[in-house]
Structure formats: structure tokens, C-alpha cells
Chain A
Amino acid sequence: MVAKNNRWARGRGMAASWYGIARTATIDRAGAWAELDDGGTAKIVTGVTEIGEGILTVLAQVAAEELGVRPDDVTIGDNDTARSPEAAHAGATRQTYMIGNSVALACRNAREKLDAELADYWQVDIGLIEAFNGEIWARGTNKRLTMQEAVDLCKKRGVVPVGSGSFTAHGTGLDPVDGTGAPWQAYVFGCQVAEVEVDTVTGEVQVLGVWAVHDVGRAINPRGVEGQIEGGIVQGLGQALMEDYETVDGHTTTHGFAKYILPTSLDIPQINCRLVEDRDPRSPLGAKGIGEPALVPTAPAIMNAIYDAIGVRITSLPATPEKVLAGLAEKRAAAMAAE
């Protein structure tokens, strides 16, 4: 809405979205190894991890929870085709889902070996054994050891508590003629609302607030999830308003950051996040993912907000000041013609 004689107009827009988790229209797989190690520490080995999203920490949390140790006790050896099991690639919003679940399965496998030795040693039912935060005990008894003692005991009985895990996501290919198929076993949904201020003199758009609501299945590390959402929104904002890789006859004219404009600290809206946790029924952890879905609704929410603010519909990204001004001029011309 534009108040009379007001240079700056504010508006709001929303957009919803959906996304599939892990590789598309194919079976996806990932493997991991786990070992409860001396001192009550743990080793996890898997084929692909961190590209910045925080998966190392998520895996340490998953391993700690499953093994009964602390995240700080977990060492993750990874990312080497000659030294670690295959876990495929870092992308497709598959890390928490694929690697996280394969690590959980590997840890459960290692724990089975440790728990079997302890159950025999303590002469209790294996189902009574629980572990958390560096301690292991038999529920309803006074049997309790530190994890360091438990691993030592297990090894003295001749068993190294190691395990492996492989997790599968069952997607199917698409029919080549009509596209029917079940490309993913887990879907996430999201919705973002943007509030913008448009400078009707310069055409500049500022995004002042974004409210982001995303289903992530189960948030292993809520702060990490927020970080993914904030980063996704700002990449979406960049594409919505300023980023444009341009070429002329195949030669780029945007060959550096002086020409290719990226969002900086002054472009950042206040980002308000809420998570919805609709757990995945098909996996041990119930978590789904957030990396890619976070940026899907951002650009349309901003375009819908610009329309709400000034009545100009931008259908060609990015909504540069030039396009906004052209839209306003067109609107004024149409209004004058109608008079």
C-alpha cells in the first residue's frame, strides 16, 4: 500500500513450498561404521559429511545419543573413498536423513555387542540396559558403569564393540511418458512471509522481516536448523533482488563481486523461525531435512510482498530497482490513460 505523498511503501507477501528428501526418483543409500572406543569415547566413520551445514555436529549428537556417550567424546573420521564406507554425495538435502540414519544404525549395531557382554556379565536381560552421557546401567537394578569401564570390560572379554549401518531410501524412477512414480519416501513442507519496504523514488526494495515456518521432521539441532533457514532465505533474497549472472554471446559481464552483487550484512531482514516436527515414519531418527527447502519460498514471498506494497507484479527475477521503477511507470501510465 502506498500512502499519499509517501515515498516508502510497505507490504507483505507469503509463499508456500514443498520438497523431497534425498536423491530424486532413485534408491538412495549411505553407509557408516561405529566403534565404542577406549576411555568411553567413540569413533564414527562415514563417506561424506560437512559442507558447512553442521552435519558433523548432528552426527556427533546422533552417535552420542545412540551410544550413550557425549557429543564431545565422538571423533568423526570421514570423507575418504579409500578409508571410509560409501555414503554417496553431499547434496539433495540428504545428509541428516541418509548419513544421520546410517550412523544411528551403525551405533545401534555397536551397542548390541557391548550390551550383550554387559547383560551376560551382569546376568540381566539385555533389554534392561540403557546408556546416556557416559554412563551405562541396567534399569531397575543397581548395576551401573561408566562407559570407559564398560568398554574396558567388553574388550577384556575379547570383544571390540564395533558396528556398521546401511540406510536406504526407497525412491522409484519416473515413467518416461507420463512421469508417474514415487520419487521420495519423505517430503517436507514450508511457508514464508516477507515484509518489504519499497522506495518508490529509487526502486530499491528492502526486506525487513521474514517469518519462516518449516517442517523438518525432527530437529536434531534446532539452532543448526535455524542457521540453515537463515542462510537459505538470504540466498533466496539475493536471487530475488540483486544476483544476476549475465553473459553477452557467452562472455560473462559479471566476473567478480564488484559486478555480481551479493547480499551483505545491510540487506538482511529480521528472520523469525518456527519449526514444525512431523516425524518421518520410515526412518529410525524421524528427522527429514532443511538445507534446500529453506530457500524455495523466499523469492515468491518477496515478489508477492512487492505487489502488496506498490501493486507492481515482478515476474522476471531479480526485482532490480530498474524493473521496479519500470513497473511503477507502467502503472502510472495505465492510470493516466484510464482517466
Chain B
Amino acid sequence: MPDQKITLTVNGRKVSRPLNGAPRLLDFLRDELNLTGTKEGCGAGECGTCSVFVDGKLVKSCLMPTLKADGAEIQTIEGLSPVGSDLTPVQKAFHKTGASQCGYCIPGMVMAATSALRENPDADIEEIKERLGGNICRCTGYTKIFEAVEIARDVIAGRLPPVTLEADETSDSFIGANVRRIDAPSKVAGKLKYAGDMVMPDMLHMQVLRSPHAHAKILSIDTSQAEALEGVECVITSADVPGKDGFGVFVHDQPIMAREKVRYVGEAVAAVAAETAQIARRALALIKVEYEELPGIFDAEEAMQPGAPVVHDYAPDNLVKHIPVRKGDVDAGFAEADLIVENTYSTQQVEHAYLEPEAGLAYVDHDGVVTVVSPSQNITHHRHMLSEIIAKPINKVRFIMSAVGGGFGGKEDMIYQGMLALAAMKTERPVRLVFTREESIIASAKRHPARITYKMGLKNDGRITAASLHMISDGGAYGMSTEGVMRKAAILSLGPYDIANSQVDTYGVYTNNTPSGAFRTFGGMQVQFATESHLDICAEKLGLDPFEIRRRNMMRAGSTTHTQQKLETCSIEEVLRVAEEFCRWERGAPTSRGAERRDLNGPDVRQSCTLGARFRMPGDEADEKQEVA
């Protein structure tokens, strides 16, 4: 097909370009016009980070072929506040309320908010929420975003003075003051460059060949055809690693690319650096890998059984780490109890879903320093590991942490920076890699799933005499943060309660599932989900109020923790007191707090969600629901 020419107006300026292939509008804006404020979060129209206006209508630019925009008028985030003009009220309101955190979803969110107020300048909160429904934010919990849109609406309508959008007056201290985020103006204007937005002259593009098997021996890798493809600068495999291959947060069990065998679906096997991402993708199809499939192990408890397939030779029992914590005499504690309650709990694997997929740019500088720019949450440790992997002194390895578009622990693992470094060393050219959403989901670590067996003994007055907790967690194919997660889970397991007799065991286990790793709370939420559920079950059996059973067992200053550390200070009593009063808690055992409830449906809850706020007519009752007979 002959190349075509396209003419359109972008942010008020006429643009004419020949089109090669059939790029999405998103690619055209980012790659041709360098308008990188428009971000790619999913490439499937599901997250809204790529939202732009096309002829005044909010459109997800990842879903729109550029050809379809021929003759159209496009406005991007950069066009909202063009050079020389002030931020818009919506952008200023996002700055004022703290509505941007990592900032990666924010250009799209600002576009959606702008659209909402353009479509209906008097949109109420329910309509605003509905109009933002196509835009995902993983950091903020949306609350400050709603506040920003409402403030912007009222300033635009003249109901609030413009000064509402400015900084608060300085008081007598900057500590404890709501200073506006210093990085917010760059985020709300789409000016902040994330790693995937960066380009360097002569830059190559990397694509990664990933394992289709959960557990298989690699018999051979033939890269010759891929290397012969025009535009391919290099193909790398584990054979290109010059030093001691292996990374991980606690145990260095993961090679830069699969070595001798693959252990999970999506594991990197080889990588190509080429003049364009398209050429690199074509080259991947030319790499021939011969696998011999091995029996896989997909369940943590089965992995602990004798005879189970072994994931790593160094750990024939598939155990990554067992953490025991003991205090007092549990048998005596259970014997003393009036009531013993046992139950099991489970939690699932959870994806971090930061809106910025993994991306990085590596180059070798004029002094021979191998430099990796990426949204790494741990540049210090990555530098140490990479220096061993590429056999260079530490000062010849440099990590720069680019703006992080959400991390939550998921960007602590060095799962792609090593490949970038190797390709930059092999070609002496800058190399960039940007994950797709699908690639991010299959290749990156998840929150550890957990199976927890709980036993608690209590006196009739609610005092806990003994507790035991046994947790098995699927760590997946590589160690990553599993050891630390098991440790933190064990330490925090039984909650903020002073329990004389306890026994805790946490086990992290290798399987051929997607690895589990660091994720906000690092094991803390799984165990405390079990503890806090269990305490309510016990409270009901004893006829106690949930706050009361916790107060009767809570730690105080001077208490010893489950690991027998003496606490200098302890605020749980105050926290419980404030919470109970703040929420207007109605006392009573769970499910038996009376038929006449006064605590529910107060002024501090939202109305339940009913779709259609956009189409409501004036005078309609917003909260009306049809009863089903």
C-alpha cells in the first residue's frame, strides 16, 4: 500500500505529514509530533491515559487510526495551556487539591475532567464521577480528583473566587502546612517526561522474546535469522552476560534472561535491539528456541510435598523462606482458654497496575559508564547487582531513577534493566524498551497470595490467651522479595495485640506461576486481614463489640510485641478512641447491633451508585431505587 499523507490541526497549528503504515493517533502524536503528554497506559481503550479531544469530543487516542483523524482538529494536554498562557482552572485545581500523585494518568484525567465541564458546566458530583469513569487512576483513590473538578467547576461558574485555586497563606511553619505539590504543575500540564517519553539521538528500540511455557528446558536458541534482518543491531541472550548472572531483592536467583530453563510464562528468553520497534518485533518471530517441556508445579502446598517438580536446583524442597516466630507457651495458652476458634483465610494474587508500564533507556557514556534510566524503586541495589552481572566496577555502572508512574513495590525488581544494559554495551548505542500492558502484567511480580490457618484461644471476657497462625504463600518462579514479605508477614501477623502465647509460621514457596514480589504492605495486609476477620468472629461468639474485644487485647507502651520487642510508645488506644467517635459507631456484637440502626446512611457516606447521572433531567430524584418485590 502506498504511503499516505495526512493533514490535521493539532493544538491550533496545521500539521501535514506522510504516514508510514497505519499508526494509531496516539503514536502519531507521541512519535511524530513529540507530544508526549498523551500517555499510553493500556493500548486497549481501558485506562484513559491517552485521552485527547478530536473535534471537541473526548477520544481515547490508542483506539483511533491516524488516518481517521485526517482533517480533524485535535487538542492534546499540551494544547490546554499553550506556551505563554496560564494553567486552566481544571489544571490549577488539580494542583491545589493534590489530585496528581505519580502523575501518569493525570493528563488523561485532566482531559476527561475538562470534557466533563465543557459538556455540562453545572455537572454535579455524580455526573462528574460518571464522566471520569473511563479513566483509571491507581494512586489517588480519586477523592482529590473529584474535589479538584468540583472546585474548578465552581471557579469557572463564578461561585468561588479564583484565589481558591492559589496557594494557601504561609503560616508560622512549613511543617504541617498543606504546601501544594511542587511537581504537580509539570504533571497536570503533561510536561513531565517518563522513561518511555525519552528519546536520544541514534536510539535503538528493544523488544523481548518471552517464554510460552511455564516450565521447560531450553535446548537451543538460534538467533542467526533475526540478526540477519535489516535494521536489527543486536540480539542478546543469557550467553551475552559477561559476569555473574543473577538478581533478586533477597536471593539472586533470577538470570537477566532465562538460562538453561524457563520457570514461568512470560519470562524473558532473548531480546532484540533494532532501528524501530516494528523491526524488533519482526525479528522476535525469527528467533528459534527449542524447548523440552517439564512438568510444572502451580500450587504452593503441592510444591511443598516430597516428589514435587523442583523449580530451582538450589532449593530441592521448593522453599524460598520459612519464618518462625514464637512467644510464651501456646499449648498452655490454649489450655487456659474458655473458647477456641479456628478458621482459614485466603487472599489472591494482585497486580500492581501502575498506569506507567515498565520502560527504560540505557546507554554507555563517553567515559564508558553503563547508564540505565528507568523508573526503578531501588537504584542503589540495582547498581550493585548490575555491576556484578556485567563485571564492571560500581562506578562504571550508573542508575538514574526517572519519574515513576506508580510503583507500589512493583518496580523494585530489576526485570528488564539488565537487558537494556547488555544491548547498549553490545551496540554502543542508546537502547529503549517500553513494555506493553500485557507484557507488564505477565512479566512483573504480583502481591503474594496467602492461605492462612488461624487458631485463637480466648477467655470469656475476650482476653486472648494464645494464637497460632500458619501461612503458605505462592512466591512464583523467582525469589524476588518473598523472603522479606514472609518476614514482615510473620512479625505483623497477630496484629497490634498483646498476646502472651503465640506461634507463627510463614512459608514462601517456589512454583511455576508468575512471581510474587513486593507490593504495598509487603505481607502485612494478608495476615492482618485474617487477624481482623478472626477477631470479629470471636467477638460475635463472645457477644462483644468489635472495638471492645480489640481494646481488651491491645498493645500499650511497655507491651512486648510478638517478636518480644518492648514498645516505647503505642498509639492504638488513642486511634481506636478517635475512630469509634469519628464514625458514630453503634455499639454491640457484630450482626446484633439492633434493628433500629442510627449509624447507617449518615452525612459522611456517598449515595449508592446508580448509572445514568449524565442523562438525568432537572428535578429527578438522584437516589431513587426501584424495590424488587
- Give me the interface of A with B, judged by CB distance under 8 Å: 1, 5-8, 10-20, 24-25, 47-54, 56-57, 60-62, 64-65, 70-72, 74, 76, 78-82, 86-92, 132-133, 174, 176-183, 187-193, 195, 197, 201, 206, 208-209, 211, 213-215, 218-224, 226-227, 229-236, 238-239, 243-247, 249-252, 254-258, 260, 262-272, 274, 276, 278, 280-282, 285, 291-293, 295-297, 299-301, 303-304, 307-308, 311, 313, 315-318
| Among A74, A179, A201, contact of B504 (Cβ-Cβ < 8 Å) | A179
Tell me if B582 is interfacial: C-beta within 8 Å of chain A: yes
Instruction: Evaluate contact between A57 and B383: CB separation under 8 angstroms.
Output: no
- Kindly provide the distance from the CB of A213 to the nearest chain B CB, expressed in whole angstroms: 4
Instruction: Evaluate contact between A300 and B529: CB separation under 8 angstroms.
Output: yes
Nearest to A63 among chain B residues (CB) is B174
| Among A193, A262, A278, A292, contact of B136 (Cβ-Cβ < 8 Å) | A262
Chain B window 134-150, contacts with chain A (Cβ cutoff 8 Å), 1 for yes, 0 for no: 11101111111110000
Residues of A within 8 A of B375 (CB): 51
Instruction: Evaluate contact between B604 and A258: CB separation under 8 angstroms.
Output: no
| Among B142, B177, B532, B590, contact of A16 (Cβ-Cβ < 8 Å) | B532
Instruction: Evaluate contact between A264 and B136: CB separation under 8 angstroms.
Output: yes
10 contacts across the A-B interface (CB closer than 8 A):
A1-B595, A5-B627, A80-B400, A91-B518, A187-B569, A224-B98, A227-B140, A251-B214, A274-B582, A300-B529
Instruction: Evaluate contact between A10 and B600: CB separation under 8 angstroms.
Output: yes
Distance, CA A144 to CA B198, complexed state (A): 46
Residues of B within 8 A of A192 (CB): 579
- Which of B201-209, B231-239, B417-425, B570-578 has 4 or more CB atoms under 8 Å from chain A? B570-578
Instruction: Evaluate contact between B380 and A48: CB separation under 8 angstroms.
Output: yes
Residues of A within 8 A of B215 (CB): 250
- Which of B21-29, B39-47, B66-74 has 4 or more CB atoms under 8 Å from chain A? B39-47
Instruction: Evaluate contact between A239 and B595: CB separation under 8 angstroms.
Output: no
- Kindly provide the distance from the CB of B482 to the nearest chain A CB, expressed in whole angstroms: 13
Instruction: Evaluate contact between A249 and B296: CB separation under 8 angstroms.
Output: yes
Known interface pairs A231-B140, A270-B604; A16-B438 also in contact (CB < 8 Å) = no
Instruction: Evaluate contact between B398 and A80: CB separation under 8 angstroms.
Output: yes
Nearest to A280 among chain B residues (CB) is B569
Residues of A within 8 A of B627 (CB): 5-7
Instruction: Evaluate contact between B377 and A266: CB separation under 8 angstroms.
Output: no
* B533-572 CB contacts (< 8 Å) to partner A: 533, 536-537, 546-547, 550, 554-555, 562-565, 567-572
Known interface pairs A60-B179, A70-B170, A295-B521; A215-B379 also in contact (CB < 8 Å) = no
Tell me if B178 is interfacial: C-beta within 8 Å of chain A: yes
Nearest to B296 among chain A residues (CB) is A250
Residues of A within 8 A of B173 (CB): 65, 132
Query: What range describes how many residues of B lie at the interface?
Result: 35 or more
Instruction: Evaluate contact between A272 and B582: CB separation under 8 angstroms.
Output: yes
| Among A224, A243, A276, contact of B571 (Cβ-Cβ < 8 Å) | A276
Known interface pairs A79-B401, A90-B378; A61-B179 also in contact (CB < 8 Å) = yes
Instruction: Evaluate contact between A179 and B563: CB separation under 8 angstroms.
Output: yes
* B159-213 CB contacts (< 8 Å) to partner A: 170, 172-183
Tell me if B265 is interfacial: C-beta within 8 Å of chain A: yes
Residues of A within 8 A of B344 (CB): 315
3 cross-chain pairs, A with B, having the tightest CB-CB distances, nearest first: A250-B214, A52-B102, A179-B325
Distance, CA A48 to CA B404, complexed state (A): 11
Instruction: Evaluate contact between A5 and B629: CB separation under 8 angstroms.
Output: yes
Known interface pairs A193-B583, A266-B133; A215-B529 also in contact (CB < 8 Å) = no
Chain B window 39-61, contacts with chain A (Cβ cutoff 8 Å), 1 for yes, 0 for no: 00010101100000000000000
Instruction: Evaluate contact between A271 and B537: CB separation under 8 angstroms.
Output: no
Distance, CA A181 to CA B345, complexed state (A): 27
Instruction: Evaluate contact between A281 and B569: CB separation under 8 angstroms.
Output: yes
**Among B142, B146, B442, B602, residue most surrounded by chain A Cβ atoms (within 10 Å):** B142
* B101-138 CB contacts (< 8 Å) to partner A: 101-103, 129-130, 132-136, 138
Distance, CA A132 to CA B103, complexed state (A): 31
- Which of B282-290, B330-338, B461-469, B484-492 has 4 or more CB atoms under 8 Å from chain A? B484-492
| Among A47, A258, A311, contact of B44 (Cβ-Cβ < 8 Å) | A258
Tell me if B478 is interfacial: C-beta within 8 Å of chain A: no
Tell me if B348 is interfacial: C-beta within 8 Å of chain A: yes
- Kindly provide the distance from the CB of A24 to the nearest chain B CB, expressed in whole angstroms: 5
Tell me if B429 is interfacial: C-beta within 8 Å of chain A: no
Tell me if B447 is interfacial: C-beta within 8 Å of chain A: yes
Known interface pairs A91-B377, A268-B129; A180-B563 also in contact (CB < 8 Å) = yes
- Kindly provide the distance from the CB of B324 to the nearest chain A CB, expressed in whole angstroms: 5
Known interface pairs A183-B491, A266-B133; A51-B406 also in contact (CB < 8 Å) = yes
Tell me if B522 is interfacial: C-beta within 8 Å of chain A: yes
Residues of B within 8 A of A12 (CB): 583, 585-586, 599-600
**Among B325, B529, B554, residue most surrounded by chain A Cβ atoms (within 10 Å):** B529
Instruction: Evaluate contact between A222 and B528: CB separation under 8 angstroms.
Output: no
- Kindly provide the distance from the CB of A207 to the nearest chain B CB, expressed in whole angstroms: 9
Instruction: Evaluate contact between B585 and A14: CB separation under 8 angstroms.
Output: yes
Known interface pairs A10-B601, A52-B102, A195-B600; A233-B326 also in contact (CB < 8 Å) = no
Nearest to B171 among chain A residues (CB) is A133
Instruction: Evaluate contact between B441 and A252: CB separation under 8 angstroms.
Output: yes
* B303-358 CB contacts (< 8 Å) to partner A: 323-327, 343-351, 353
Instruction: Evaluate contact between B533 and A318: CB separation under 8 angstroms.
Output: no
Distance, CA A200 to CA B143, complexed state (A): 27
Distance, CA A40 to CA B579, complexed state (A): 44
Residues of B within 8 A of A231 (CB): 101, 138-141
Instruction: Evaluate contact between A16 and B380: CB separation under 8 angstroms.
Output: no
Distance, CA A211 to CA B602, complexed state (A): 12
Instruction: Evaluate contact between B143 and A268: CB separation under 8 angstroms.
Output: yes
Residues of B within 8 A of A272 (CB): 582-583, 604
Known interface pairs A13-B546, A255-B438; A89-B487 also in contact (CB < 8 Å) = no
Distance, CA A48 to CA B408, complexed state (A): 15
Distance, CA A60 to CA B174, complexed state (A): 9
* B615-629 CB contacts (< 8 Å) to partner A: 625, 627-629
| Among A62, A180, A213, A269, contact of B579 (Cβ-Cβ < 8 Å) | A213
Known interface pairs A89-B380, A249-B214, A268-B143; A189-B563 also in contact (CB < 8 Å) = no
Known: A208-B607, A234-B140; 20 extra A-B contacts, CB below 8 A, are A14-B547, A17-B495, A70-B170, A72-B182, A91-B518, A174-B490, A178-B325, A179-B324, A188-B571, A221-B179, A224-B178, A239-B350, A252-B265, A256-B44, A265-B142, A268-B142, A281-B569, A300-B532, A304-B546, A311-B591
| Among A54, A74, A79, A201, contact of B628 (Cβ-Cβ < 8 Å) | A201
- Kindly provide the distance from the CB of A272 to the nearest chain B CB, expressed in whole angstroms: 5
Residues of B within 8 A of A236 (CB): 525
Instruction: Evaluate contact between B576 and A16: CB separation under 8 angstroms.
Output: yes
Instruction: Evaluate contact between A243 and B608: CB separation under 8 angstroms.
Output: no
Instruction: Evaluate contact between B324 and A81: CB separation under 8 angstroms.
Output: no
- Kindly provide the distance from the CB of A113 to the nearest chain B CB, expressed in whole angstroms: 21
Nearest to B562 among chain A residues (CB) is A179
Instruction: Evaluate contact between A296 and B406: CB separation under 8 angstroms.
Output: no
Tell me if B264 is interfacial: C-beta within 8 Å of chain A: yes
Instruction: Evaluate contact between A174 and B323: CB separation under 8 angstroms.
Output: yes
Instruction: Evaluate contact between B133 and A265: CB separation under 8 angstroms.
Output: yes
Residues of A within 8 A of B536 (CB): 13, 300, 304, 307
Residues of B within 8 A of A270 (CB): 604-606
Instruction: Evaluate contact between A266 and B609: CB separation under 8 angstroms.
Output: yes
Nearest to B168 among chain A residues (CB) is A223
Residues of A within 8 A of B343 (CB): 315
Nearest to B401 among chain A residues (CB) is A79
